[in-house]
């Protein structure tokens, strides 16, 4: 499967403008032969969300902004993974939704690990660890940004059969090491692909570093090194996953009986 990761500039943060730009990215991705477009964290609204932007963008899973994303997917015949603030009537979550090429909801996930006050002051953490679904010939899993920095989260996906882990993010400087080192390590140690899709530019006092990356389970990776808006195209091959799991059998050689009594959070 060919996928496209949309590294987006964090300007024009109004919802209509962001959706218009998402439509154009979907058009370009579909013309390039991609079957899945992955957009950054908080695609709808931008990141970080100020109170007014949060009020404009927050909606339930079946809200009008989501309906517009579904139309975009149908228009261009491409599945879309995008982020938005999910309001379920009692709490707001930092969420990602995977929409099929026909416009239906395949899966949605709420960010479980919230990063600092920029997240904790706005969102409630999700309580579901592994969300995955079949898309074509692949099992696709969902995480959001900081979630991927927890090896337990990625390993749980690997053990559940995820082959491609989709991770919309809003990684800011000086944490470039996450994209350059940690994300490829996660892909290698758990033998799956990780599609890590970021913003570029400055917003709300944060400087987003780009470095959108597709890391493969065999230790190779593709990265948008330049801080420019654009698409990163990558081929996702289930055979590469199978071969990596045969060559480096971390999942088989685990000894979970040695880890089950580990303590909880420190402090």
Q: Which amino acids are annotated catalytic?
A: 41, 111, 145
Q: Determine the 3-state secondary structure of 224 from DSSP.
A: coil
- ∠ CA(75), CA(76), CA(80), 5° rounding? 105
Helices (H) and strands (E) in the chain, counts: 9, 14
Contacts of 123 (CB under 8 A, 6+ apart): 85, 91, 92, 93, 94, 111, 114
- Chain-centre distance of CA 147, in angstroms? 10
The pair of three-digit structure tokens given for residue 129, joined into one six-digit string? 């660890």
The pair of three-digit structure tokens given for residue 183, joined into one six-digit string? 């994300």
Residue appearing with tokens 């404009």: 56
CB 137 within 8 A of CB 238: yes
């Amino acid at each position: 499967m060919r996928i496209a990761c949309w590294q987006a500039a964090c300007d024009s943060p109004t919802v209509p403008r962001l959706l218009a730009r998402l439509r154009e990215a979907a058009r370009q991705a579909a013309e390039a032969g991609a079957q899945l477009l992955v957009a950054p964290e908080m695609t709808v609204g931008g990141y970080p969300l100020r109170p007014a932007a949060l009020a404009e963008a927050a909606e339930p899973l079946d809200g009008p902004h989501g309906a517009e994303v579904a139309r975009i997917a149908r228009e261009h015949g491409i599945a879309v993974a995008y982020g938005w603030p999910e309001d379920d009537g009692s709490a707001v979550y930092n969420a990602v939704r995977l929409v099929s090429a026909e416009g239906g909801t395949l899966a949605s996930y709420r960010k479980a690990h919230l990063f600092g006050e920029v997240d904790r002051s706005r969102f409630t953490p999700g309580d579901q660890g592994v969300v995955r679904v079949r898309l074509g010939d692949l099992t696709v899993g969902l995480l959001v940004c900081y979630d991927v920095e927890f090896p337990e989260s990625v390993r749980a996906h690997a053990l559940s059969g995820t082959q491609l882990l989709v991770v919309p993010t809003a990684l800011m400087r000086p944490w470039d090491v996450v994209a350059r080192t940690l994300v490829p390590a996660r892909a290698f140690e758990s033998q799956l692909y990780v599609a890590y899709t970021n913003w570029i530019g400055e917003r709300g006092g944060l400087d987003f570093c780009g470095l959108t990356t597709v890391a493969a389970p065999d230790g190779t990776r593709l990265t948008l090194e330049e801080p420019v808006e654009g698409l990163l195209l990558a081929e996702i091959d289930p055979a590469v996953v199978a071969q990596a799991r045969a060559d480096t059998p971390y999942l088989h050689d685990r000894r979970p009986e040695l880890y089950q009594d580990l303590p909880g959070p420190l402090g």
